[in-house]
Amino acid sequence: MLRIWKWYQSCLSLHPVKTQIISSGFLWGIGDVAAQYITHSTAKKRLQYHKDDDNEFKVNWKRVAVTSMFGFGFVGPVGHFWYEELDKFIKMRLLLRPKSARFVAAKVAMDGLIFGPFDLFVFFTYMGFSAGKSTAQVKEDVKRDFLPALILEGGVWPIVQCLFVMD
- Tell me the residue length of the chain: 167
Please, are residues 70 and 121 in contact by the beta-carbon 8 Å criterion? no
The alpha carbon of residue 155 and the mean position of all alpha carbons in its chain are separated, in whole angstroms, by: 14
Comparing 29-33, 81-85, 128-132, 151-155, the range with the smallest average pLDDT is 151-155
0.85 cut: is pTM over it? yes
Mean pLDDT, all residues of the chain = 92
C-alpha count within 13 angstroms, C-beta hemisphere, residue 58: 6
CA-based nearest residue to 84, from 17, 163, 8: 17
Does the pLDDT at position 161 exceed 70? yes
Average pLDDT over residues 117-133: 97
Comparing 48-57, 71-80, 142-151, the range with the smallest average pLDDT is 48-57
Comparing 36-50, 92-106, 141-155, the range with the smallest average pLDDT is 36-50
State whether residue 55 is helix, strand or coil. coil
Q: What is the pLDDT of residue 64?
A: 98
Separation in Å, CA 56 to CA 36, 51, 52, 60, 69? 12, 12, 12, 12, 26
State whether residue 53 is helix, strand or coil. coil
- What residues contact 150, with CB distance under 8 A and at least 6 apart? 116, 117, 120
